[in-house]
């Protein structure tokens, strides 16, 4: 099975809670880590020129 990575044509945003990251600290390479409570202030970091995958648990 191939590993999932953030490619140039998509952006992956990791929205997991700190407790979830502590339990499973591995991240998808190239993913942008933004806490759910930071979305309003950091939404400008999410590229608008490609598809976006939101990853949460």
In this structure, the number of other CB atoms found within 10 A of the CB of residue 39 comes to 14
pLDDT band at 13 (very low <50, low <70, confident <90, very high): very high
| Predicted confidence band of residue 4 (pLDDT cuts 50, 70, 90) | low
- Buried b vs exposed e over 13-28: b needs ≥16 C-beta within 10 Å? bbbbeeeeeeeeeeeb
Rounded to whole angstroms, the Cα distance separating 29 from 10 reads 12
Q: Is the pLDDT of residue 48 over 70?
A: yes
Query: 2.40.30.110, 3.40.250.10, 3.40.50.300, 3.30.200.20: which CATH number matches 10-55?
Result: 3.40.250.10
pTM of the model: 0.75
């Amino acid at each position: 099975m191939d590993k999932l990575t953030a490619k140039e044509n998509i952006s992956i945003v990791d929205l997991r809670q700190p407790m979830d990251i502590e339990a499973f600290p591995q991240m998808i390479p190239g993913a942008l880590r933004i806490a759910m409570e930071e979305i309003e202030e950091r939404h400008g970091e999410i590229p608008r020129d490609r598809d976006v995958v939101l990853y949460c648990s």
